[in-house]
Structure 1
Amino acid sequence: MSVWKNLGEQTVYANQWFKINLADVELPDGRHLDHYLMRLRPVALTAAVNADDEVLLLWRHRFITDSWGWELPAGVVDDGETIEQAAARELLEETGWRIGPLHPLLTVEPSNGLTDARHHVFWAEGAEYVGHPQDDFESERREWVPLARVPEMVEKGEIRSANAVAALLLLHKRRCR
């Protein structure tokens, strides 16, 4: 079995969001290399699906890639908070909708060659509108979008975020037969 071994790491930069570390890595053939990596807090996302098989999405701009797209409400898990609590909190803060019980959907590692980031995606049946979103600055608009449209939206590049693509295609497969 070809296994890369992490023999130790040194933090070269850290802030409240992430750490950049330099790892001493031993390759399967015994050679060593320096490998930079990013350590991140877990991320929680929620796909709220209503009785009409529509999912609540955010239309937002990402300045890093200078791109617009539909995304699921998401955010980092705060200290002292469970992943499920973070998923419900982020959906409420970003959309103004409160959800009921959460169900695990999947966990993805969006860039596991560079970071230990894990994105935990949940889904919930329905939601109740409780008011204007607290974090309305996070998106241009919030809409219920038919799951049946998801594959086309992915193909057109309207859904670009890897965690949303994976989650929404899985939900589409499960619910749109």
Structure 2
Amino acid sequence: MKKNEEVTIQSETIFNGRVISLELHDVKLPNGRESKREIIKHPGAVAIIPFKEDGKIVMVEQYRKAMERNLLEIPAGKLEKGEAPEVTARRELEEETGYGCEKLKHIISFYTSPGFADELVHVYEATGLYEIEDHLELDEDEFVELVEVTLEEAEEYITTQRIFDAKTAFAVQYARLKENK
């Protein structure tokens, strides 16, 4: 048994959607009592930090219904069943930006909200960008606008909350650390 482990007694899937499912778990706590946990199951995702030769970062601006506003983000998308994260990263980069890349380097993987979700995001750095003329199209319910930003602009956008999501804020901080090495 793991330290402070919560053992699932039973679980029930309450909702099964296109992107997520919601499970309700009855758990036995380390002190012997029982409780309930609501858990979001997610297939995982990738996020790509695309660097142009001039150092600018290619981002996408899109409306996020959950926030009821536009956000400026690095390209990202969910893993398809059986798809390797690197394959997803290359596909999402092409779909969302129209770019391919010569080099794709895995930076880190992290859980987005481990208190209630199992979503694991794999972050990649893309360099050697080149335009793909006949590139993959966005999903039919996806609408994005490309925005190229300098590192300084991205840092300012974090303070003004134009960039307001964890994966993109992480990407900007990664870029700053990389530049300072």
Query: Residue type of the partner of 2:25?
Result: A
The correspondence for 2:147, drawn from 135, 143, 149, is 143
TM-score normalised per structure 1: 0.90
The correspondence for 1:165, drawn from 152, 162, 169, is 169
Q: CA deviation at 1:97?
A: 0.9
The correspondence for 1:94, drawn from 93, 96, 111, is 96
Q: What corresponds to 1:117 in structure 2?
A: 119
TM-score normalised per structure 2: 0.88
Q: What corresponds to 1:81 in structure 2?
A: 83
Q: Which runs of 5+ in 2 are unaligned?
A: none
Query: Residue type of the partner of 1:10?
Result: E
Aligned length: 177
| Aligned-partner Cα distance in 2 for 1:66–1:87 | 26
Q: Which runs of 5+ in 1 are unaligned?
A: none
Do the aligned residues in 2 keep the contact of 1:148 with 1:176 (CA within 8 Å)?
no
Q: CA RMSD in A?
A: 2.0
| Aligned-partner Cα distance in 1 for 2:136–2:82 | 23
Query: SS where residue 151 of structure 1 aligns?
Result: helix
Query: Residue type of the partner of 2:162?
Result: E
The correspondence for 2:107, drawn from 105, 108, 121, is 105
The alpha-carbon distance between structure 1 residues 139 and 175, as it changes in their structure 2 partners (threshold 3 A), is farther
Query: SS where residue 94 of structure 1 aligns?
Result: helix
Query: Residue type of the partner of 1:64?
Result: A
Do the aligned residues in 1 keep the contact of 2:43 with 2:81 (CA within 8 Å)?
no
Query: Residue type of the partner of 1:168?
Result: V
Amino-acid identity (%): 24
| Aligned-partner Cα distance in 2 for 1:139–1:133 | 14
Query: SS where residue 45 of structure 1 aligns?
Result: strand
The alpha-carbon distance between structure 1 residues 16 and 66, as it changes in their structure 2 partners (threshold 3 A), is closer
